[in-house]
């Protein structure tokens, strides 16, 4: 154990701060100024920038069935991705007309390089994909790509006119705002030029849809055709076709096939307006959007990667009134999603609750120290430490988000602890009669080891959080960094600024006040008899502690576990699934019924319905066909009314009895299940085996209590038409690929060109009239041009109706089915246990396997990672304590006490009926550091007393008595700082959902029991262990080091008194005996100060006494000289802990005078 004065560099920092007080104060002012500036400059976001380690490949294949997409696109792409460097898992989903492949990579991969590797792999297989498949889109996902604002816009005019107004008025203004990356309009109809061809006229002229499209493409081509020489200059020459009017489009000619002419000669060209009509039409969006029952258009704002979310949002809001005025016509803008508001709310929360917590902490200091000046000294550490954390965030380019704000909120109650401990010790020294400047140094120096070690242990607790892997690591790394920086800053403040301000602000205590302040306080009068009894009855004390621990562990079955508390969320979804083959209008009709039921539910501020959204949430708009059987309603909750609104909506929907399946609180297509979603993945090598396994798992899960709304994405097959070529196809001069292209053109139409009309730029689409081929009969009659004329499709192929899957899902090549369900019980862990038991009893067919996902996988992963983080934290804490106590056994006392600290947390969670969630896990990590911190502060002084010669029993009693006040102060300061958080639960919003009541409840409950633990159980365990632990090796080492220091100090003045001499008349010399009080060894720093001030020191052999020589005392009388000699020595010796004898005159030869 380091003895007093053996603290070297850290104590030197305190000494230097006292010497350079003006410089330190100037540094404090600069830090305040820089911190306030950094607070105005740091970027603000809802979440940290998190890039999911995945690359997404989307390949549209218009008109292709899921099985065709799977075989011809998804499987080749999936095989190509298997060879990409760093790829862990390859998933694919094949749906009607589109393929989605997700490549999951190892944590830490460079996503830009991974994206390039995926693109290169796609390029190598592009020739293997069908020509009808469109170009693949490669993209990654980051939180920066999420919209920061989303509005629903409605008006009294038709949506088509409103969309045009928005494109003309809103898009240019919003895109021009600083920080806006893109503005997306959703759910709006678009205008296009439709060329509607008459099938009979096409047959008459032997013209195909493809030929008309090719003619339009040729008419709008832009192509370089060379250059012209004009002197020495070369001028490029190009030809540019442009479609500028409907009349021009109608006059474009198409040359029929030669077979159309009876003479065999080429037929005369025919104009497009002879084959059909050309018109501008409004194409409705493939989704229908309503807000509060009114048709609306969505407006999404996406910011740039380096832009400030709050600043951009404010600029957008400021621009909206001008846009509304310009459009007019009763336009109404309803905010649907806003990332900026939770940020500003969270900042307001931390300012309000942080201020309240700081006030409570300051009140604790004032109540215990009863000094306004001392309170001011300690209170400065809170803002200064947090401002230093802000400076580091700004310097490192880390945003101010709910994680970093949460770190600051957590740090508020802890950053003041170091200052409290240092200030309390300085205040105690002052109360014992020391001068403030001396007390500031000796008090800080005496406690500096404990403060440094305790802060480093807390840092060691949070440091492993920064090394969590995956998305959890990306989320919590900024949180851990914020807490660690604030704690380290608080340590620096405690050993520099606090002693300096204490030396300047604390008043000296008069002699009559010293005796009064040395009396036992009322808390000490209660504690000292208690600790005496506990140390005298160690087995009874330990038995009682073990019984209390066992009783608290028995409460674990009552403890609910929930990954994230959703009660502070501002929204929740309602998903609607219609039967297969339902049309968009069918789904819309049922959605309107649902809207009517929830319109009057309590706690709802607004709701937005989207009918017919994309089946894939990752796909960019327009790349994947909409699913007409799906709809979703996003419900916006009034502040703090989540539970009531959710219950009200569920009650209202109990009156719905339509064909749609409703699911409240979890989006159907959410790739990340929330805390209410269970997921089981079933895999097999073929579809038949997968179906059997899927059905078996569904049957087993249906019996699990607390689980509802079970469904599988392996739904029943839907009908499909299959074209089977006849023998006449080969004789017609066509092949299967050509026939497929001709049929696809006539069924789906073809976008041929782009027209620049006065109304704006529009696509030109060539197609047959709607309903031309919507049944098997009309499909059979489709005219197909061949080398021998036009024939109906039925001549070349027969049409069969078959069944096929809606989607085909694969994971690493195996067929995959996902079963989901909603957890209706409050205890997620209990449901997980029941689900695991049910799945264990499922008899799977050969080749099938299953695994749990959703919240179960998240819960398991998070708990595992936090368990590893806790083990890593305990390892770091143990290492720091071994370095502090220079013992392998004594730190075990503190490690044994860590599980006892969790007892209060468990009791508090059960009593308040609060689930253990992510914030609660963070609170448990905090407790690990806090209980060790208080124990270090206590045992450090106990070790110092033992080094000074006190017995084990007396050292434990005296150490506890002197450390009682700082431990109680830090405990109450931390608990009261979290009271506002426990009461209001983080102020609501997403920030409140993260740093919420569970964290505060865990820390307050755990800190209450851990404080009692530190003051009673730790001393008992320490005294018990010390009976078996030898201190000989440490003392031997100390003696060797002391001997080395004795030799170093010898030349500084350790001379015999025989060298003293009076220097003439009125010049006297004296010697005084300096003796440490019982149990205290001489402080070598005191001896060094004496020799530096011209005194000499001579140790008295066999004792702890020292003879101090005082030469050259100027006085007119011996009595006056004696008083001066005594005052001179007394000014260099601490006011307490030493006895000083009366001065004795000495003769010039060093003998004492009689």
Residues 523 and 381 both lie in one domain: yes
Tokens of 833: 């246990």
Residues 225 and 197 both lie in one domain: yes
Confidence of residue 533 (pLDDT cuts 50, 70, 90): very high
pLDDT at 71 over 70: yes
Q: Round to whole Å and give the CA distance between 407 and 992.
A: 13
Higher pLDDT, 956 or 1067: 956
Q: Which helix (H) or strand (E) holds 931?
A: helix 918-947
Q: Directed axis angle between helix 918-947 and helix 890-911, to 10°?
A: 140
| Residue 112, domain extent | 47-144
Q: Tell me, what's the pLDDT at 260? A: 47
Average pLDDT (422-433) is 81
Query: Which of 655, 671, 687 is the endpoint of a domain?
Result: 671
CB 299 within 8 A of CB 170: yes
Q: Round to whole Å and give the CA distance between 481 and 462.
A: 8
pLDDT at 1047 over 60: no
Confidence of residue 1154 (pLDDT cuts 50, 70, 90): very low
Average pLDDT (675-693) is 81
Residues 56 and 36 both lie in one domain: no
Average pLDDT (712-716) is 73
Residues 204 and 139 both lie in one domain: no
Of the listed ranges 518-522, 526-530, 949-953, the one predicted with least confidence = 518-522
Beta bridge partners of 816: 683
Q: Round to whole Å and give the CA distance between 889 and 538.
A: 18
Pairing of strands 814-823, 677-684: antiparallel
Residues 481 and 386 both lie in one domain: yes
CATH number of residue 1118's parent domain: 3.30.70
Residue 828 burial by CB count (10 A; 0-12/13-18/19+): exposed, middle or buried?
Answer: buried
Contacts with 588 (C-beta within 8 Å, 6 or more apart), sequence order: 288, 611, 612, 631
Average pLDDT (898-909) is 82
Average pLDDT (165-183) is 86
Q: Tell me, what's the pLDDT at 1084? A: 61
**Strand ordering across the sheet containing 276-283:** 276-283, 190-197, 760-767, 750-757
Average pLDDT (89-116) is 85
Q: Tell me, what's the pLDDT at 1104? A: 67
Average pLDDT (502-519) is 60
In a domain, 293, yes or no: no
Residues 516 and 406 both lie in one domain: yes
Of the listed ranges 823-827, 1028-1032, 1059-1063, 1108-1112, the one predicted with least confidence = 1059-1063
Looking at the 3D structure of the chain, how many domains does it have? 5
pLDDT at 995 over 60: no
Q: Round to whole Å and give the CA distance between 280 and 373.
A: 80
Query: Which of 108, 126, 144 is the endpoint of a domain?
Result: 144
Specify the residue for token string 């609104």. 645
Q: Tell me, what's the pLDDT at 562? A: 65
Structure confidence by residue, pLDDT tens digits, 807-829:
888 888 888 888 887 777 666 66
Contacts with 1040 (C-beta within 8 Å, 6 or more apart), sequence order: none
In a domain, 654, yes or no: yes
pLDDT at 443 over 70: yes
CB atoms within 10 A of CB 544: 14
Higher pLDDT, 551 or 330: 551
Higher pLDDT, 627 or 20: 20
pLDDT > 70 fraction of the chain, expressed in percent and rounded: 83
Beta bridge partners of 93: 100, 809
Specify the residue for token string 């001393």. 1019
pLDDT at 1064 over 50: no
Residues 371 and 517 both lie in one domain: yes
Q: Round to whole Å and give the CA distance between 596 and 653.
A: 10
Put simply, whether the predicted model's pTM sits higher than 0.75 gets the answer no
Q: Is residue 223 classed as helix, strand or coil in its secondary structure?
A: strand
Residues 125 and 205 both lie in one domain: no
pLDDT > 90 fraction of the chain, expressed in percent and rounded: 5
Residues 1021 and 1060 both lie in one domain: no
Average pLDDT (615-629) is 55
Considering 148-157, 613-622, 988-997, the range whose residues carry the highest mean pLDDT is 148-157
Residues 1040 and 1017 both lie in one domain: no
pLDDT at 176 over 50: yes
pLDDT at 594 over 90: yes
Average pLDDT (113-132) is 88
In a domain, 179, yes or no: no
What is the Cβ-side half-sphere exposure of residue 1109, based on CA atoms within 13 angstroms? Answer: 26
Radius of gyration of the chain (CA): 41
CB 632 within 8 A of CB 658: no
In a domain, 149, yes or no: no
Structure confidence by residue, pLDDT tens digits, 792-803:
888 888 888 877
Confidence of residue 237 (pLDDT cuts 50, 70, 90): confident
CB 755 within 8 A of CB 764: yes
Average pLDDT (975-998) is 62
Average pLDDT (605-615) is 78
Residues 483 and 587 both lie in one domain: no
In a domain, 737, yes or no: yes
* Average pLDDT of the chain, as a whole number: 78
Average pLDDT (1110-1135) is 78
Pairing of strands 1106-1114, 1067-1076: antiparallel
pLDDT at 671 over 70: no
| Region of residue 1053 (phi > 0: left; psi between -120 and 50: alpha; otherwise: beta) | left
Of the listed ranges 509-523, 533-547, 1085-1099, the one predicted with least confidence = 509-523
In a domain, 700, yes or no: no
Average pLDDT (1097-1107) is 71
Residues 408, 443, 500, 12, Cα dihedral to 10°? -90
In a domain, 833, yes or no: no
Query: Which of 759, 774, 804 is the endpoint of a domain?
Result: 804
Residues 41 and 53 both lie in one domain: no
Q: Tell me, what's the pLDDT at 590? A: 93
In a domain, 38, yes or no: yes
Q: Tell me, what's the pLDDT at 605? A: 86
Q: How far is CA 1101 from the centre of its chain?
A: 65
Specify the residue for token string 């030396």. 503
Q: Tell me, what's the pLDDT at 480? A: 84
CB 318 within 8 A of CB 178: no
CATH number of residue 652's parent domain: 3.30.70.1430
């Amino acid at each position: 154990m380091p003895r007093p004065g053996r603290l070297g560099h850290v104590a030197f920092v305190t000494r230097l701060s006292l010497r350079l007080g003006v410089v330190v104060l100037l540094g404090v002012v600069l830090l305040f100024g820089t911190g306030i500036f950094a607070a105005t400059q740091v970027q603000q976001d809802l979440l940290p920038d998190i890039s999911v380690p995945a690359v997404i490949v989307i390949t549209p294949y218009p008109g292709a069935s899921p099985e065709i997409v799977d075989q011809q696109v998804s499987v080749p792409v999936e095989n190509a991705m298997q060879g990409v460097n760093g790829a862990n898992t390859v998933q694919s989903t094949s749906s009607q007309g589109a393929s989605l492949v997700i490549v999951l990579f190892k944590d830490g991969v460079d996503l830009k390089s991974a994206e390039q590797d995926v693109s290169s792999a796609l390029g190598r297989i592009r020739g293997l994909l069908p020509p009808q498949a469109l170009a693949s889109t490669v993209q990654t996902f980051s939180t920066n790509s999420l919209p920061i604002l989303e509005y629903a816009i409605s008006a009294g005019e038709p949506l088509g006119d409103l969309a045009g107004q928005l494109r003309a008025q809103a898009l240019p203004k919003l895109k021009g705002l600083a920080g806006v990356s893109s503005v997306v309009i959703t759910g709006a109809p678009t205008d296009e030029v439709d060329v509607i061809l008459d099938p009979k006229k096409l047959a008459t002229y032997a013209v195909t849809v493809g030929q008309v499209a090719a003619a339009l493409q040729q008419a709008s081509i832009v192509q370089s055709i060379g250059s012209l020489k004009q002197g020495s200059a070369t001028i490029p020459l190009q030809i540019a076709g442009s479609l500028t009017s409907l009349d021009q489009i109608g006059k474009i000619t198409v040359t029929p096939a030669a077979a159309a002419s009876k003479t065999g000669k080429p037929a005369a060209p025919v104009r497009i307006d002879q084959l059909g009509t050309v018109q501008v039409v409004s194409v409705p969006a493939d989704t229908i959007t309503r807000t509060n029952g009114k048709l609306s258009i969505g407006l999404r704002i996406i910011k740039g990667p380096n832009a400030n979310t709050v600043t951009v949002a404010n600029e957008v809001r400021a621009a909206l009134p001008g846009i509304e005025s310009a459009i007019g016509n009763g336009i109404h803008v309803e905010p649907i999603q806003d990332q900026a508001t939770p940020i500003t709310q969270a900042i307001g929360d931390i300012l309000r609750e942080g201020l309240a917590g700081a006030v409570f902490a300051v009140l604790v200091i004032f109540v215990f120290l009863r000094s306004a000046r001392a309170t001011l000294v300690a209170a400065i550490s809170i803002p200064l430490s947090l401002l230093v954390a802000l400076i580091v965030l700004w310097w490192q380019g880390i945003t101010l988000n709910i994680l970093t704000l949460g770190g600051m909120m957590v740090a508020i109650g802890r950053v003041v602890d170091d200052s409290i401990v240092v200030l309390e010790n300085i205040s105690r020294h002052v109360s014992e009669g020391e001068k403030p400047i001396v007390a500031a140094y000796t008090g800080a120096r005496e406690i500096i080891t404990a403060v440094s070690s305790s802060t480093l242990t807390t840092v060691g607790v949070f440091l492993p959080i920064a090394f969590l892997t995956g998305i959890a690591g990306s989320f919590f790394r900024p949180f851990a960094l914020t807490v660690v920086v604030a704690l380290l800053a608080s340590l620096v403040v405690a050993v520099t600024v606090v002693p300096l301000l204490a030396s300047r602000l604390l008043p000296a205590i008069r002699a009559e006040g010293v005796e009064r302040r040395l009396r036992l306080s009322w808390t000490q009068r209660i504690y000292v008899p208690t600790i005496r009894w506990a140390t005298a009855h160690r087995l009874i004390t330990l038995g009682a502690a073990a019984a209390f621990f066992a009783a608290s562990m028995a409460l674990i079955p009552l403890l609910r576990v929930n990954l994230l508390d959703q009660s502070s969320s501002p929204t929740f979804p309602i998903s609607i699934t219609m039967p297969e083959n339902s049309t968009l209008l069918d789904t819309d009709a049922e959605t309107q019924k649902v809207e009517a039921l929830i319109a009057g539910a309590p706690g709802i501020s607004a709701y937005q319905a989207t009918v017919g959204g994309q089946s894939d949430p990752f796909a960019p708009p327009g790349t994947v066909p909409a699913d007409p059987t799906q709809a979703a309603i996003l419900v916006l909750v009034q502040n703090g009314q989540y539970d009531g609104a959710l219950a009200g909506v569920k009650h209202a929907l109990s009156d719905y009895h339509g064909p749609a399946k409703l699911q409240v609180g979890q989006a159907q297509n959410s790739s990340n299940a929330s805390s209410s979603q269970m997921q089981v993945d079933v895999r097999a090598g073929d579809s038949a085996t997968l179906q059997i396994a899927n059905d078996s798992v569904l049957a087993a899960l249906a019996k699990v209590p607390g689980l509802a709304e079970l469904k599988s994405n392996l739904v029943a097959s839907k009908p499909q038409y299959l074209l089977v070529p006849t023998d006449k196809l080969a004789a017609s001069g066509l092949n299967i690929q050509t026939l497929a292209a001709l049929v696809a053109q006539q069924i789906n139409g073809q976008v041929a060109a782009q027209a620049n009309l006065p109304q704006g730029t529009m696509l030109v689409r060539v197609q047959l009239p709607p309903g031309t081929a919507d049944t098997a009969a009309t499909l059979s009659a489709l005219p197909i041009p061949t080398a021998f004329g036009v024939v109906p499709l039925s001549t070349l192929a027969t049409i069969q109706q078959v069944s096929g899957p809606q989607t085909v899902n694969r994971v690493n090549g195996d067929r995959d089915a996902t079963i989901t369900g909603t957890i209706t019980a409050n205890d997620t862990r209990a449901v997980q246990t029941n689900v695991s038991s049910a799945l264990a009893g499922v008899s799977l067919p050969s080749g099938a396997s299953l695994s749990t996902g959703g919240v179960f996988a998240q819960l398991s992963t998070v708990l595992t990672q936090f368990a590893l983080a806790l083990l890593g934290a305990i390892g770091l804490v143990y290492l720091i304590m071994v370095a502090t106590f220079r013992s392998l056994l004594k730190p075990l006392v503190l490690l044994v006490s860590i599980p006892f600290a969790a007892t209060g947390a468990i009791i508090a969670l059960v009593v308040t009926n609060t689930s253990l969630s992510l914030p609660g896990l963070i609170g448990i990590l905090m407790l690990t550091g806090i209980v060790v911190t208080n124990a270090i502060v206590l045992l450090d002084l106990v070790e110092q007393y033992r080094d000074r010669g006190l017995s084990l029993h007396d050292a434990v009693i005296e150490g506890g008595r002197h450390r009682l006040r700082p431990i109680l102060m830090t405990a109450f300061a931390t608990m009261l700082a979290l009271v506002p958080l426990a009461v209001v639960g983080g102020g609501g919003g997403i920030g409140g959902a993260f740093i919420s009541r569970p964290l505060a409840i865990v820390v307050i409950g755990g800190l209450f029991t851990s404080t009692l633990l530190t003051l009673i159980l730790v001393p008992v365990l320490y005294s018990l262990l010390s009976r078996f632990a030898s201190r000989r090796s440490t003392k031997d080492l100390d003696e060797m080091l002391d001997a080395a220091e004795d030799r170093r100090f010898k030349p500084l003045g350790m001379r015999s008194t025989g060298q003293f001499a009076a220097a003439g008349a009125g010049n006297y010399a004296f010697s005084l005996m300096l003796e440490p009080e019982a149990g205290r060894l001489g402080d070598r720093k005191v001896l060094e100060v004496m020799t530096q001030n011209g005194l000499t020191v001579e140790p008295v052999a066999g004792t702890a006494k020292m003879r101090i020589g005082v030469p050259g005392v100027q006085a007119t009388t011996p009595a006056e000289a004696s008083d001066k000699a005594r005052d001179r020595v007394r000014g260099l010796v601490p006011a307490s802990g030493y006895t000083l004898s009366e001065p004795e005159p000495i003769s010039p030869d060093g003998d004492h005078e009689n």
